[in-house]
Amino acid sequence: MQQDHADVTAREVKESAGGSVSLTTCSTDSQRKLDGSVTFARFAEKHRRLLNTFIRQNPGLLEKSLSMMLKVPRLIDFDNKRAYFRSRIRQQHEQHLSGPLRISVRRAYVLEDSYNQLRMRPSLDLKGRLNVQFQGEEGIDAGGLTREWYQLLSRVIFDKGALLFTTVGSNATFQPNPNSVYQTEHLSYFKFVGRVVAKALFDGQLLDVYFTRSFYKHILGVKVTYHDIEAVDPDYYKNLKWMLENDVSDIPDLTFSMDADEEKHILYEKTEVTDYELKPGGRNIRVTEETKHEYVDLVADHILTNAIRPQINSFLDGFTELVPRELISIFNDKELELLISGLPEIDLDDLKANTEYTGYTAASSVVQWFWEVVKGFNKEDMARLLQFVTGTSKVPLEGFKALQGISGPQRFQIHKAYGAPERLPSAHTCFNQLDLPEYTTKEQLQERLLLAIHEASEGFGFG
Structure confidence by residue, pLDDT tens digits, 341-353:
999 899 999 999 9
Inside any domain, residue 461: no
Indicate the range of 3-12, 57-66, 241-250, 261-270 predicted with least confidence.
3-12
Instruction: Answer yes or no: do 210 and 121 share one domain.
Output: yes
Instruction: Answer yes or no: do 324 and 374 share one domain.
Output: no
**Amino acid (one-letter) located at 291:** T
Q: Is the pLDDT of residue 229 over 80?
A: yes
165 φ/ψ angles, rounded to the nearest 5 degrees: -125, 155
Instruction: Answer yes or no: do 434 and 362 share one domain.
Output: yes
- Domain encompassing residue 415: 348-456
CATH number of the domain at 247, please: 3.30.2160.10
Cα torsion angle, 220, 221, 222, 223, sign = positive
Instruction: Answer yes or no: do 191 and 322 share one domain.
Output: yes
The gap between the terminal CA atoms of the chain, to the nearest Å, is 30
Q: Is the pLDDT of residue 60 over 70?
A: yes
Instruction: Answer yes or no: do 209 and 287 share one domain.
Output: no
Average per-residue pLDDT in the chain? 85
Q: Is the pLDDT of residue 420 over 90?
A: no
The total number of residues shown for the chain amounts to 463
CATH number of the domain at 180, please: 3.90.1750.10
Cβ neighbors of 125 (< 8 A, separation 6 or more) are: 98, 101
Instruction: Answer yes or no: do 185 and 328 share one domain.
Output: yes
For the chain, give me the number of helices (H) and strands (E)?
Answer: 19, 12
Instruction: Answer yes or no: do 197 and 330 share one domain.
Output: yes
Instruction: Answer yes or no: do 295 and 330 share one domain.
Output: no
| Inter-residue contact 183 to 193 (CB < 8 Å) | no
Rounded to 10 degrees, the C-alpha dihedral 454/82/304/392 comes to 60
Inside any domain, residue 89: no
Instruction: Answer yes or no: do 209 and 336 share one domain.
Output: yes
Total tally of structural domains belonging to the chain: 4
Structure confidence by residue, pLDDT tens digits, 160-177:
888 899 887 667 789 999
Inside any domain, residue 140: yes
pTM: 0.81
Instruction: Answer yes or no: do 352 and 448 share one domain.
Output: yes
Inside any domain, residue 166: yes
Inside any domain, residue 422: yes
Catalytic residues: 430
> How many CA atoms are closer than 13 Å to the CA of 2, on its beta-carbon side?
12
**Amino acid (one-letter) located at 338:** L
Structure confidence by residue, pLDDT tens digits, 81-135:
999 999 998 888 777 666 789 999 999 999 999 999 998 899 888 988 888 999 9
Give a three-class secondary structure readout of 259-296. Answer: CHHHHHHHCCCCCCCCCEECCCCHHHCECCCCCHHHHH
Inside any domain, residue 400: yes
Instruction: Answer yes or no: do 169 and 212 share one domain.
Output: yes
Instruction: Answer yes or no: do 435 and 416 share one domain.
Output: yes
Confidence class for position 27, pLDDT limits 50, 70, 90: low
Separation of CA 20 from chain center: 44
Inside any domain, residue 261: yes
